[in-house]
Structures are given as C-alpha cells and as structure tokens.
Chains A and B, each alone.
Chain A
Amino acid sequence: DQQVKQNSPSLSVQEGRISILNCDYTNSMFDYFLWYKKYPAEGPTFLISISSIKDKNEDGRFTVFLNKSAKHLSLHIVPSQPGDSAVYFCAASADGGTSYGKLTFGQGTILTVHP
C-alpha cells in the first residue's frame, strides 16, 4: 500500500522556468512533510519541509504548498537551474507512537532542467 505517491516519474523543464513537483498521500495521520533531493549513488539531501498546520513554506527558490483537504502537496522551484536536475522525493511522517520520526517516501520524480 503506497501511502505517499508521486505520480509523475519524470519532469523536464527549461532553465529559468518554474518546476512543479507533485505528491499525494492517503494517510490522514501524516502531520509533517518533507522534500528531499537525491543524486545517483548518494543519500538524499533535505530541501524543505512543512507542518500540517501550515499551507505554505518558502525557502529561497523553493516553496512547498500543502492542501490538507486534498491530501496533496507540491514543491515549486523558481527559477529552475540545471543544477536542480536530480531525483526529488516527497516524504511524510505521523506524530507519536511507534511511527515517531519514521518517514514514508514517495517513489520519486526525476527532474531534468535544460539549459
């Protein structure tokens, strides 16, 4: 049962334009969401996160939007740069109990930014 889904396996964007990566989740207990960037043969690098009490969080070129009613979040990268080309993972966690701190990852989206 895939509780976090990234339905677009890949995305191609022109340099300078906006990249929008989407993520859907099914578990209503998730209360914290994170985006990670990953290069081949390397571990994921934390990008940005958002708590379920917010609907937007911004950090430089990266903005994450959360729509709780739709169980949907998105990562916006503006402007996109060739160095942003990587695999982007959406992750979610639930509060308390045995799931404390445990992350559930989506399948990842390969972002390619063309010069």
Chain B
Amino acid sequence: GAVVSQHPSWVICKSGTSVKIECRSLDFQATTMFWYRQFPKQSLMLMATSNEGSKATYEQGVEKDKFLINHASLTLSTLTVTSAHPEDSSFYICSARDVGSGSHRNEQFFGPGTRLTVL
C-alpha cells in the first residue's frame, strides 16, 4: 500500500525558534499533500493544501506566514513552523493523495505524525 513518512516523529524546541517537518510519499507520487493538526482528544483540522510547484492554499484562520509550506517535488512537502510558541504545540499530520493508483481521488494516505512541543 501507499506509504507516507514524516520526519521528525517528535521535536521539542524553545519558544521563538523555527521547526521544519518533512512529509514524504515513499512509493508513489503525490501532486497534492495536506497538512493537519490535532489537539488532544479533538479531530484533525486541515491547515493547508500543498500542491506541487505552486503556492499552498491555507484554511481560514491559519497564518500562512507562520506555517510555511513548500512542495518542491512530487514526493516531498515541508511544513515550517516559524517563531514557534507554546500554543503551537500540537500533533501535526500530513497526508498525500496517490493520483496514479486508480483509487478514488479523495483517498488520502497519512503519515505517522509529528509531535511538536514548544517550551
């Protein structure tokens, strides 16, 4: 099946620093990747849609200058949390659509997530 990896799996950083999270589709090409965040005991909230070779589309309320997304290749998207603060602490999950498999366009395969803790 389609595999999506994330790196790092967890990170602790000081307030004010920037953190980069990578999302890779390992065995398929993903023209579109999505970034979600999940707070404890809550649902996954879509932050932005990342399209290869173009600017990301951000959901309402998500600061694009704070959460920088780059989708430079068909297998890699990165999310950079700039000037992180304690309220940015969360579980960040990416997903990718395997457009080549013949599966429905809306089936997304998720990475294992990255736990960010900002001190």
A and B are partners in one complex rather than unrelated chains: yes
Count B-side interface residues using an 8 Å CB cutoff: 27
B112 with A98: CB separation less than 8 A: no
Is B78 located at the chain interface by the 8 A CB criterion? no
Residues of B within 8 A of A (CB): 4, 6, 32, 34, 42-46, 49, 57, 91, 93-95, 97, 104-113, 115
Q: A34-B107, A41-B91, A89-B44 are in contact. List 10 more A-B contacts (CB 8 A).
A: A36-B110, A43-B93, A45-B110, A46-B107, A46-B109, A102-B34, A102-B49, A104-B46, A105-B45, A106-B43
A43 with B106: CB separation less than 8 A: no
B4 with A43: CB separation less than 8 A: yes
Count A-side interface residues using an 8 Å CB cutoff: 23
The secondary structure that dominates the B interface is: strand
List the B residue with the shortest CB-CB distance to A110: B41
Q: 11 A–B contact pairs at CB < 8 A? A: A32-B106, A41-B91, A42-B113, A44-B44, A46-B109, A98-B57, A101-B32, A101-B105, A101-B106, A101-B108, A105-B44
A42 with B49: CB separation less than 8 A: no
Residues of A within 8 A of B (CB): 32, 34, 36, 41-46, 49, 51, 89, 93, 98, 100-108
> Roughly how many angstroms separate A42 CA and B107 CA in the complex, as a whole number?
18
B97 with A101: CB separation less than 8 A: yes
A34 with B110: CB separation less than 8 A: no
